Each structure stands twice: as C-alpha cells, then as structure tokens.
Structure 1
C-alpha cells in the first residue's frame, strides 16, 4: 500500500511539531501539504522539511510539500488522503465538517470545537455518514505511563478506583491565555483522563480559584482547582497552574480500595552533585509527552490505513466540551454546575 498522504492545517507550535513528526518519525505516511494564515511561516516549514535528507521517513526523500493558503482547499485537495487539524479551536467546527463532507479521516487537536452545541453537530454529522472519521488529540491516552496506569486499574488488582488526584502545571503561557482558556485548553486534558480512567461520565463539576499569582494580568484566575463528580459517585480533583514558573509538570494519582498508583513523578533520572540532588523539569509539553504524540500519530496512521480510528472519538470530544462549558460556568458563578449532555444512545443509537 502507498503511504498515507497527510495535510496539516495550522503550523504553529503544535502543527509544526506534528509536521516534523510525520516527516521524520512516522512510517506509512507522507506530508504533502500544509496550510496556515502565516504564509511565510508555512512556506519556511514546507521548504525545510521537503528538502530533508531522511528517505526512510515520510517526505524525507526530498518530495515537495505544498503550501495551500485556504484550509478548506487543503481538505478538498485530491492529493490529500487525511488531515491533521492543529488550527485554533474556533476554526475546528468548519474544518471538521469539511473533512466529513470530503470523507477525509482527521486527527483533530483538542478542543473538538469551542462549545457543546457545535461539538454535538459534528458528532451527529459523522454518525450520519455511517463511519467514524474523527479522532481527537487527547494524547495522554497514548503516554506509556498513563497507559500502564489504565491497564493496572482495569485489571482490578487494586479493587475499585475511588479517587483521582491530578496536577497540571505549565511554566508560562502567553498573556492572551485568559481564565476561561485554562478550563477549555488545559483542564480539558484531565477531563478526558478522568472519563477514560473511570470509564464513566462526569456528572458535575466545580471550578474554584484562590487568590491568583501576582505574575498574571489583572482578571486572570490562575491557579484553579477543579472537582469532578463522576456519575458512579467517584471523585477526581485537579490543580491547574499555567504560570508555575518552574517547568511543565503533570501528575496523576489513582486511589483505589486496595492501594494507590502514581505517575508523572519524573524520577527516571535522579542526580546527586555539588551538595544537591534532583532531576530536570521540562519546559513544555513536547518534552514530557513527545513519546505519547509519536505513538498517537503512528497509531492514527495505521488505523486510517485499515479504515478505522484508534483513539478518542468525536463523542469523547463532545463530552469534554460539555464538561468544560459547565466548568467555565462554575468558575464564573462560584458554584457546582451539572454537566448537560445528550444521551449517547439517542445520538449514536
């Protein structure tokens, strides 16, 4: 079979990282086109990767990568078999609908869309096609540590899982990263983690904020503390702090009837020198979850070749959007908010 021909929409930090990944580390795929409003950035990336000298991976044989200004034109291009969407969230709904219209498999970075209603429309449109084309980029499911934790909890060795404790800290974020974005763009990962590890829906969410750090703009509530109440009665809590200053840190502890398990401690390399001991804290998510992204994209490519998806679905993206919508309301109103979702059986049959 020929390589899957991939087009990438949005080549900012995440999209450029995916482009380099497809070219250099993913087998069975070839990057053929990119699209971004910043044409010089897209052109520079396409030229640098298209002239790569790594023939064993993707376009590394020197194939030209096209720059297509209009993202909808990229989706409709006959030379593009599948699409990675790494554009801003506000553009996702239109681009996802175009992928469905053209029958193009798509790996969409979170969020699926910016609100519950448009996410549900995407789910319904995909369902009408009679086949799944959308995979959502919740890459933590592919991280070896998270995967091992999931396997342990599912084995029943520790009994029923009762609690999850999560920490999600970034070194810094842009000044444009406002309070609501902390919920929709950061906390959303823990929303998916909780749903996945518990295999259950979040019924109620509470998001509160202490006195904010003095290192953010006026009006930004950072850090935040969220509590998820699962439909089964289990509970998860999350600390999100996106201007932590130290580095990128993600931890998860599951507490069960017969024990607990913790991941993300960063103890794989521990040094002792000059009267100190410790290890390194990465600057951003690409270092911590680089392997997870590699696994995610490779499995997406392999599944697409089989006519399947192998990861979080459009429904998972819709569920996360519903929880985050309730989370923003909780943050604004200072109270628990019930998560309003359509019944899965009524939407998907």
Structure 2
C-alpha cells in the first residue's frame, strides 16, 4: 500500500516535508497540496505532480487523500484537525497542536470520543539520535538521580513578525516537550526571567535573550536560555546533571576542519538542517503507522495539550515575572 498524503501549508516547513516525501520517505506519496495562496499551491502541485486545493476541508474530504499532513499556521490547526477526525483520516500535525490549551482540550475530547488515537504531533526532537541517547543514559540510571538540566535554544535571527509571546509558544515548546520525554514526568511550575541586557540585534518589541525556569514533579530544576538572535547559527544544547555523572548533546557537526586558523566545526543554520534525521524518522514513523494500520504512536494530542498548559503558564509569567503553577488534569486512558 502507498499512503496518499494531502499536505496543508506550503511555507518553509511544508516545502521541506515535500522534498522529504519525494527523496527520503518510503511507502507514501503526496497526492494533494493545499495553500490559501493559489499561485503557490498551483506551482507546488505542478512541481510534485499533485492536485492543488485552496480549501483545506475540501482537500481533507477528497478521495485523493488517505492521511492529512498539517503544516499550516497554529491558529487554524484546530479546525483542520477536527475536520480530519470527522473524516476518519489520520493526521500528522506540526507543532503547536493549537495556540491555547483550551483549543487543545477540544481536540483531546474529539479523539477520546473517536475511541482511538488519530494524530501524531511534530515534536521531532524525540526522534533525534542525540536526545534518544540522553534518554537512554537517564533511563539506565548511570547518571544517578537527576538534579538539573541546562538547555539553550538559539536561532541566528527571527523575522519582524516574531513576537515576544512566540519565544514561549514557538521556541520553548520543544524544550517543554523534551523535558517531559527525557524525565518521563510533568512540569509543575514556570518562571520567565528577563535579563536587564538584551542583544542589539533584537527588534524593539523583543526582549532577547530570555531565561525560562521550569520545575518538575520530582523537583528537577531546568533553565532554558532562549536567544533567538544569536547571529552565529542554530544551536541547540541540553546538559543533564546527575548525582553521579553528566551527559550532554554533542555538536553533531557533519565535519570539522583543521587549518592555519585552528580547529573549526560547522554550525547548523536552521532547524531543518540540525534536525534533518529527526524529521526523516518522525515522518517515516507516521507513514509506517498508517500504511501498516498500526495504533498511532509517537507524540500525541495529549502531549500537545500538556505543552500548551505549560505555555499558558509561561505567558502569564512573561507578563508579571512571577512563578506560575501548572495544573494538569487526569490523563485519559487513551493516552496512557
């Protein structure tokens, strides 16, 4: 069986996934593409031998589509996901699940009512070899009791459309999810600190960098540096401090060079470059689940909902600088 994919949203990440389906992924083909920009949809459809749609729900219900791949902007995710659920079609959705926890809860309710998982969420770091190795180090107990985690999320730059709230809702979401993945426990509180100094490269409406402090159920304390105009590259860091040992992500560079100027290592310039392997793995995982009629696995709607709850607390702290508790309802049996 070849899974027929309908892909919504033809921006940067959507087009990156289109290349992935064409060049890397087995068992699936993109048969339909959808974007509100008609000329973009037409051009991409012609390039990839797909059918162009301008209305997402029309594409979702088309017989050309077995599974829906959502790469549109966050505010339209809920409507598109619920339409796919109603059509009985499995969904891959890029993060965030929705911009707010209230919207995410509607998706949880619809999926629970359906009686089975229908969605895999695009938290690709769970498929990254480095993070998987970190999780293994924690799980084996070789690090001892985990006390601290230091994270950094650095982008070379962000566009003018990037808002201060996006530092939480767009950038920190990956750290929020990966903390839960690594430790297998929830975050219970969030505080956002604004350093007095900010980079001269930040636009006037941004405070950059920010420091976010998380605490988990067992008392692990995590600091997350969000520096989205660091200039030099896309640099993701994670160091886990255990009582017996410390484990950290490596640079994961493709090559290193030695010359008269000294040692040099390549630094990724985008998430698509740094996490190319993780993106490949998560998409193949989704396709395999659909093709082989396996229960949907990987990051779930519940994971997206919990991250949204943490983000809501983070946004509150962004306003007042105080620590905010995260209250997480009982997890439905569907996601256990």
Q: Which ranges of 4 or more aligned residues in structure 1 deviate by more than 3 Å?
A: 345-349
Could you report, residue by residue, the CA deviation over 1:40-82 in whole angstroms, capped at 9, with x for unpaired residues?
12222222222xxxxxxxxxxxxxx001110111111122010
When the two chains are superposed, the root-mean-square deviation of aligned CA atoms in Å is 1.5
The CA deviation at 1:345 is: 4.5
Given candidates 77, 80, 84, the residue that maps to 2:69 is 84
- Structure 1 residue 183 and structure 2 residue 162: aligned? no
The CA deviation at 1:270 is: 2.4
Aligned residue-pair number:
334
Distance 1:98 1:264, change over 3 A: farther
Given candidates 290, 294, 297, the residue that maps to 1:310 is 297
The 5 A counterparts of 1:192-203 are: 192-203=177-188
The CA deviation at 1:287 is: 0.8
- Report the equivalent of 2:311: 324
The CA deviation at 1:278 is: 1.5
The CA deviation at 1:347 is: 8.8
The 5 A counterparts of 1:7-46 are: 7-46=6-45
The CA deviation at 1:201 is: 0.6
Gaps of 5+ in 1: 51-64
Could you report, residue by residue, the CA deviation over 1:234-283 in whole angstroms, capped at 9, with x for unpaired residues?
11110011111101000111111210111042455321112322111121
- Report the equivalent of 1:293: 279
TM-score normalised according to structure 2 size: 0.96
The 5 A counterparts of 1:73-152 are: 73-152=58-137
- Report the equivalent of 2:190: 205
- Report the equivalent of 1:58: none
- Structure 1 residue 335 and structure 2 residue 322: aligned? yes
Determine the C-alpha separation between the residues in 1 that align with 2:193 and 2:243.
28
- Structure 1 residue 66 and structure 2 residue 51: aligned? yes
Q: Decide whether the 8 Å contact of 2:34 with 2:56 is kept in 1.
A: yes
TM-score normalised according to structure 1 size: 0.92
Q: Decide whether the 8 Å contact of 1:136 with 1:311 is kept in 2.
A: yes
- Structure 1 residue 255 and structure 2 residue 210: aligned? no
Determine the C-alpha separation between the residues in 2 that align with 1:282 and 1:348.
35
Determine the C-alpha separation between the residues in 2 that align with 1:220 and 1:303.
41
The CA deviation at 1:299 is: 0.8
Q: Decide whether the 8 Å contact of 2:105 with 2:305 is kept in 1.
A: yes
Q: Decide whether the 8 Å contact of 2:210 with 2:227 is kept in 1.
A: yes
Counterpart secondary structure, 1:190: helix
Which is bigger in relative contact order (C-alpha 8 A, separation at least 6)?
2
Distance 1:268 1:254, change over 3 A: farther
